[in-house]
Amino acid sequence: MSKLLSLLSIVTILSGGELHWSNDYNQSLKEAKNEHKTVLMMYHASWCPECSYMKEVVFQDAKLNAFMQSHYKLLAYDITKDKKHLPKGYSFIGVPTFFFINSDGKLITQFEGSGDAQEFLKKLRSIEK
């Protein structure tokens, strides 16, 4: 039985788990404050190949996935579908755009574009310093 539990734990760690993206700005800020985390908000679009690559490939990396879940409240908006619900005060040129927001709603930094998992994790770690 303990071997089975160990195997299940390893599979869970390696799979990284599903990232849970909210689409409620105010709730994400509240949860970030309670959990002492930063909000990572992603603007994306269904027609954007780089956005799809980030969601389907990069964010599936177990190490990156675990880091994102433990350090950030994840918030995402499709700029086409959610146009009327985009939070005010966050400008962008293209997608994907990633905003790092403290629990008071103040923008810490932002960057655009895609990359591989190691690159993205390196950026996340540099923001946490």
What 3 state SS string does 71-90 have?
HEEEEEEECCCCHHHCCCCC
**pLDDT in the model for residue 17:** 74
Sign of the CA dihedral 22, 26, 28, 31? negative
* Residue 99: strand, helix, or coil: strand
The shares of helix, strand and coil residues in the chain, as percent rounded to the nearest 5, are: 45, 20, 35
Question: Taking the domain 2-128, which CATH number applies?
Answer: 3.40.30.10
The model's pTM is 0.86
Mean pLDDT calculated for residue range 78-101 = 96
3-47: pLDDT as tens digits:
433 333 344 444 457 899 999 999 999 999 999 999 999 999 999
For the beta sheet containing 72-78, the strands, ordered from the edge strand earlier in sequence to the opposite edge, are: 72-78, 38-44, 97-101, 107-112
**pLDDT in the model for residue 33:** 98
Mean pLDDT calculated for residue range 73-98 = 96
Mean pLDDT calculated for residue range 57-81 = 97
| DSSP bridge partners of 66 | none
Report the DSSP pairing between strands 38-44 and 107-112: unpaired
Mean pLDDT calculated for residue range 98-115 = 96
What residue spans define the domains of the chain?
Answer: 2-128
**pLDDT in the model for residue 3:** 45
Q: How far is residue 99's CA from residue 77's CA, in Å, rounded to a whole number? A: 11
